[in-house]
Amino acid sequence: MIVGIDLGTTNSLVAYFTPDGAKIIPNRLGKNLTPSAVSVDEDGNVYVGETAKERMSLYPDSVAMTFKRSMGTDREYELSGKKFKPEELSSFVLRALKEDAEKFLGEPVTEAVISVPAYFDDKRRKATKRAGELAGLKVERMISEPTAAAIAYGLYEKSRDTRFLVFDLGGGTFDVSILELFQNILEVRAVAGDNYLGGEDFTNVLQKLYLNKTGLLLQNLDEKEQVRVYKQCEDAKREISGNSEVTIECLIGDEKKQAVIKADEYEEACEELLQKIREPVKRSLSDAGLSLDKIDEIVLIGGATKLDIVKRYITKLFRKFPDTNINPDEAVALGAAIQAAMKERNKAVKEVILTDVCSFTLGTEVVMEYADGTIEDGHYCPIIERNTVIPASHTERLYTVNDNQEKLRVKVLQGESRFSKNNLYLGELEVTVPQAPKGQESIDVTYTYDINSLLEVEVKVVSTGMTKKMIIKGDANTMTDDEIEERMKELSYLKIRPRDEEENRLALLRAERMYEESIGDTRKKIEMCLRDFEQILRKGTREEIDEARRELYEVLEEDFE
């Protein structure tokens, strides 16, 4: 079975294809969204999703979130004294989704189509694939989130040719993609975005307003209080949509600190973030050679697009109302599931040809010779420009710069800076050339890039015809099977909690968190219920435990939420 997975910054989802279309698979708690959160306790127990997120309030140093933002980097997260790379944390989320899907479908899940932001570079895509492999999934295909959303919206089934802009503002990343439908070809015309802009930033703005109004300083709060403030601001961010104001109240020490924030005040404070949205939109239109009036439809995906201030800004920016027929949280996962069905050649799915573009320019390092004869190295020579439709093959002729030069080195780089040191290094190869006066010997450097993130670099010495090739695969840095097995052994000390304990663990954590946040009679009442529930957990039957958990939630909802 092949499933589609949306590995998100804030939440992740898994979906599969049925005769009635793509469907979201609920997680072990019966919910469609699984928070992209991982927690590891002192005994090596791993918690994923809502349970891990709940632990943040009690054990903040044991929880990692928004690690997708660091995919493909050297950053490490320390949880209860153990260090993890972003792709390793992502693998725990993917493994949880895999287990949920297997439980729901009643069969093994061995392969997945995983979505990635369109603006993810090669390094981040490789890290995502590694995460899938560590989770025990075969990942032969990754699909960009906007393309997946376009498929989910059924745009590939439209009878007329259509140009549309997919606006993807998730928890931690922002993508703008312009796609064009022609017959059965869905072509990505341009992509742009910001890997460090998302819904989390809109929460941070609300948090700053709350701290200013209450006179609190973030650095003066302990870790639990910081988490508590952030959580309340996150809830308030959703509540302020459709309301003229919102009240945020947090327990700081023994005192409840309250602040009222008006919607227009919040919108004004978000102006800088909204302006950051404008630039990728302008860049994508410019790269595609289109004006706004040439866009037929605007499609919204990502949870942050549900915010009123974002929707209003989008409508104002594009001068038209966007399409909101599908839940923006679910569109990408549904599209990935349809792509998985296409990969399986499912007859119920209309076959569509997907084309993509290079998100970043591919080029090499060259030296620059000025009119006065000065030579300066470290410059970047683009060979395949960003937003070139792939597959693509381009050639650039380069010349020797020194008399009797014997070798030419071709560094393979990815990025947009005019200086090579600021771009991503992918590899290099070296060729020998006959000695001759400078400028008389040359090489043809050909880059060929395909939809599977496979880059072939061919260097041909023009005078001798000697050719050297190098292939940089999309999974060039992916672990081998032996390396994956070895890393899994290293992680074997970690213990994944049994599935049937998840709901009880979550109930306990939520009650403990509410106990810490309450005072007086409410706190005493929660403590009594907690003790009763813990006693039934030790000795009760499954039915008694389920009933006690329901009663505990009733108390929490009545007296706290």
User: What's the rounded mean pLDDT across residues 85-105?
Assistant: 96
Average pLDDT over residues 308-336: 89
Question: What is the greatest pairwise CA distance in the chain?
Answer: 91
Domain boundaries 362-472, corresponding CATH code: 2.60.34.10
Instruction: Return the closest-CA partner of residue 170 out of 314, 22, 5, 11.
Output: 11
Model confidence at 460, in pLDDT bands (50, 70, 90)? very high
| Per-residue confidence band for 230, with pLDDT thresholds at 50, 70 and 90 | very high
> Quick check: 451 pLDDT over 70?
no
Name the burial class of residue 404, with classes exposed (0-12), middle (13-18) and buried (19+) by CB atoms within 10 angstroms of its CB: exposed
Of 70, 123, 137, 140, nearest in space to 477 by CA: 123
Q: What is the DSSP string of 364-416?
A: EEEEEE-TTS-EEEEEEEEEE-TT-EESEEEEEEEE--STT--EEEEEEEESS
Helix, strand, coil % in the chain, rounded to nearest 5: 40, 30, 30
pLDDT of residue 478: 46
Q: What is the pLDDT of residues 126-140, one digit of tens each?
A: 899 999 999 999 997
What is the C-alpha separation between 224 and 258, in angstroms, rounded?
17
CA distance 213 to 22: 46
What CA dihedral angle connects 476, 478, 483 and 487, to 10 degrees? 160
Report CA dihedral (84, 97, 4, 76) to the nearest 10 degrees: -10
CATH class of 2-198+272-357: alpha beta
Could you say which of 3.90.640.10, 1.10.760.10, 3.40.50.2020, 2.30.42.10 is the CATH number of the domain covering 199-271? 3.90.640.10
Amino acid letter for position 54: E
- In 3D space, the residue among 139, 120, 149 whose CA is nearest the CA of residue 354 turns out to be 149
- Give the pLDDT confidence score for residue 342 in this predicted structure: 83
20 pLDDT exceeds 90? no
pLDDT in tens, 267-319: 999 999 999 988 889 888 988 888 888 898 898 888 899 898 998 999 998 88
> Of the ranges 33-47, 199-213, 422-436, 483-497, which one carries the lowest mean pLDDT score?
483-497
Of 437, 432, 423, which is closest to residue 365 (Cα–Cα)?
423
What is the C-alpha to C-alpha distance for residues 52 and 419, in angstroms, rounded to an integer? 42
Q: pLDDT tier at 351 (50, 70, 90 boundaries)? A: low
Residue 94, pLDDT above cutoff 90: yes
Q: In one letter, which amino acid is 145?
A: E
The 10s digit of each residue's pLDDT in 106-117 is 999 999 999 998
Cβ atoms of residues 1 and 12 within 8 Å: no
Average pLDDT value for residue range 498-522: 77
- CA 549 distance to own-chain centroid: 34
- Confidence class of residue 500 from pLDDT cuts 50, 70 and 90? low
Q: Helix or strand or coil: residue 358?
A: coil
- The answer on pLDDT for 7 being more than 80 is yes
* 75-107 core/surface letters (b: 16 or more CB in 10 A; e: else): eebebeeeebbbbbbbbbbbbbbbbbbbebeee
State how beta strands 21-24 and 37-40 pair: unpaired
Over residues 3-20, mean pLDDT? 94
Q: Picking from 440-449, 479-488, 524-533, which range would have the lowest pLDDT averaged per residue? A: 479-488
Confidence of residue 229 (pLDDT cuts 50, 70, 90): very high
Q: Helix, strand or coil for residue 460? A: strand
Per-chain mean pLDDT for the chain? 86
Give the integer Cα–Cα distance in Å for 462 and 340. Answer: 44
CB-neighbour burial class of residue 289 (10 A; exposed 0-12, middle 13-18, buried 19+): exposed
Partner residues linked to 459 by β-bridges? 445, 468
DSSP 201-255: HHHHHHHHHHHHHHT--GGGS-HHHHHHHHHHHHHHHHHTTTSSEEEEEEEETTE
| Band (89; pLDDT cuts 50, 70, 90) | very high
Among 318, 464, 335, which residue's Cα sits nearest to residue 21? 335
- Enter the pTM of the model: 0.72
* Average of per-residue pLDDT across 490-509: 66
CA 225: distance to chain centroid?
Answer: 27
Q: How far is CA 354 from CA 164, 178, 290, 431, 543, in A?
A: 15, 13, 20, 36, 50
CB 299 within 8 A of CB 165: yes
Residues 6 or more apart in contact with residue 443 via CB below 8 angstroms: 397, 398, 408, 410, 431, 433, 459, 460, 461, 462
Identify the pLDDT of residue 146: 82
Percent of the chain clearing pLDDT 90 (strictly above): 42
